[in-house]
């Protein structure tokens, strides 16, 4: 007879004990999430319904204004332009740019020797590890009126182009693409290396072309990686601020003012923190919608 039965105590279930231990070990993590993630997110939502400001009479008289900030925001033509700029910037620099070129580079280096892969990888990763502000200044120097791009054009007797004024969105898209492609390359490189070689070789022996192998074998086997990478680079690109602000300041006008840049100007240039937090909340919602679309479209559980 067990000791618990003699003493009249009910034995604890093993499952309950495991749950308690897991909760104890995870408590510090949940506390950090509460302090540094959930707390600020709730404060952002709270302040978006107030007239919070840094200067003026409203700075000393915080009050609840309801949906006034959101009404003002959706009526502001500059806000609508910034939303469109954000969509264009994310789609071309992250979805089409970083994901496509990252996969292409990883695929082209798949069968190469280790030395070649290391050299190419180091060159590409160098851009990724460089601080965003430094990358921005490098591209400003490259695309400036007396920069390298115009010097190359002068070799073919082509007049200099004011790239940052004539093609501002193209300039920031290329700069962000150049910097972020390395991350996608590393992610896809790891996924492609895990594909068994005998599967692809068997398909080729059965008469499949190289394109058919990529379409029907390679891509389906790394579909989960594609979904995860697209979600990560999209969320990262949604928050890009220093690169755009350093290169163009959101201009000319508002032609490159994405939501982070527009939010910064409203919150810390115009000192309207309540309005700025309302914009940041919209940015958070856009990130959640993008993640949901990726998961539903690609039907992958992450």
pLDDT for 96-128, tens place per residue? 899 999 998 888 888 777 777 778 778 888 888
Quick one: tokens of 301?
């559980």
- Cβ-in-10-Å burial (0-12, 13-18, 19+) of 157 comes to exposed
Report the number of secondary-structure helices (H) and strands (E) in the chain: 18, 0
Quickly list DSSP for 133-183: HHHHHHHHHHHSTTSHHHHHHHTTTPPP--HHHHSHHHHHHHHHHHHHHHH
At residue 209, what are phi and psi to the nearest 5 degrees? -75, 170
* CA neighbor of 76 nearest in space, from 297, 281, 278: 278
Tell me if residue 17 falls in helix, strand or coil.
Answer: helix
pLDDT tens figures, 12-51:
555 567 778 878 888 888 888 888 888 888 888 888 898 8
Angle of the 39-47 helix axis to the 273-298 helix axis, nearest 10: 120
Instruction: State the distance between the two ends of the chain, measured CA to CA, in whole angstroms.
Output: 47
Task: Name which of 18-27, 75-84, 161-170, 178-187 the model is least confident about.
Answer: 18-27
Q: How far is CA 271 from CA 55, 56, 88, 104, 147, in A?
A: 6, 9, 27, 44, 35
pLDDT higher than threshold 80 for residue 161: yes
Burial class (CB in 10 A: 0-12, 13-18, 19+), 205: exposed
d(CA 55, CA 263): 17
Distance CA 181, CA 93 (A): 9
Q: Which residues contact 211 (CB under 8 A, 6 or more apart)?
A: none
Which CATH superfamily is 85-248+282-298 part of?
MetI-like (1.10.3720.10)
3 band by pLDDT with thresholds 50, 70 and 90 = very low
Res 2 pLDDT > 70: no
Domain regions of the chain by residue span? 85-248+282-298
Q: pTM for the full model?
A: 0.84
Structure tokens that stand for 234 in this block? 């999209």
In the block, residue with structure tokens 């939502």: 45
């Amino acid at each position: 007879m067990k000791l618990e039965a003699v003493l009249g105590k009910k034995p604890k279930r093993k499952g309950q004990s495991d749950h308690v231990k897991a909760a104890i070990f995870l408590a510090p993590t949940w506390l950090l999430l509460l302090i540094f993630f959930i707390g600020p997110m709730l404060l952002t939502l709270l302040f978006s319904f107030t007239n919070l400001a840094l200067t003026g009479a409203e700075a000393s008289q915080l009050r609840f204004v309801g949906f006034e900030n959101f009404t003002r925001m959706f009526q502001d033509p500059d806000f609508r332009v910034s939303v469109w700029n954000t969509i264009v910037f994310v789609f071309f620099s992250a979805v089409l740019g970083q994901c496509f070129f990252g996969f292409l580079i990883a695929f082209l280096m798949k069968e190469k020797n280790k030395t070649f892969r290391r050299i190419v990888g180091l060159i590409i990763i160098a851009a990724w590890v460089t601080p965003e502000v430094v990358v921005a200044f490098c591209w400003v120097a490259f695309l400036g009126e007396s920069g390298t791009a115009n010097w190359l054009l002068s070799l073919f007797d082509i007049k200099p182009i004011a790239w940052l004024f004539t093609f501002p969105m193209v300039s920031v898209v290329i700069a962000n693409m150049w910097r972020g492609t390395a991350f996608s390359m590393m992610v896809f490189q790891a996924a492609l290396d895990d594909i068994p070689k005998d599967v692809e070789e068997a398909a080729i022996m059965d008469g499949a072309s190289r394109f058919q192998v990529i379409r029907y074998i390679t891509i389906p086997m790394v579909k989960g990686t594609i979904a995860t990478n697209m979600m990560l680079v999209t969320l990262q690109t949604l928050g890009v601020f220093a690169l755009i602000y350093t290169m163009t300041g959101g201009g000319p006008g508002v032609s490159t003012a994405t939501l982070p840049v527009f939010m910064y100007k409203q919150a810390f240039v115009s000192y309207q923190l309540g309005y700025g937090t309302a914009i940041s909340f919209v940015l958070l919602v856009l990130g959640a919608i993008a993640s949901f679309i990726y998961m539903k479209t690609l039907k992958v559980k992450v």
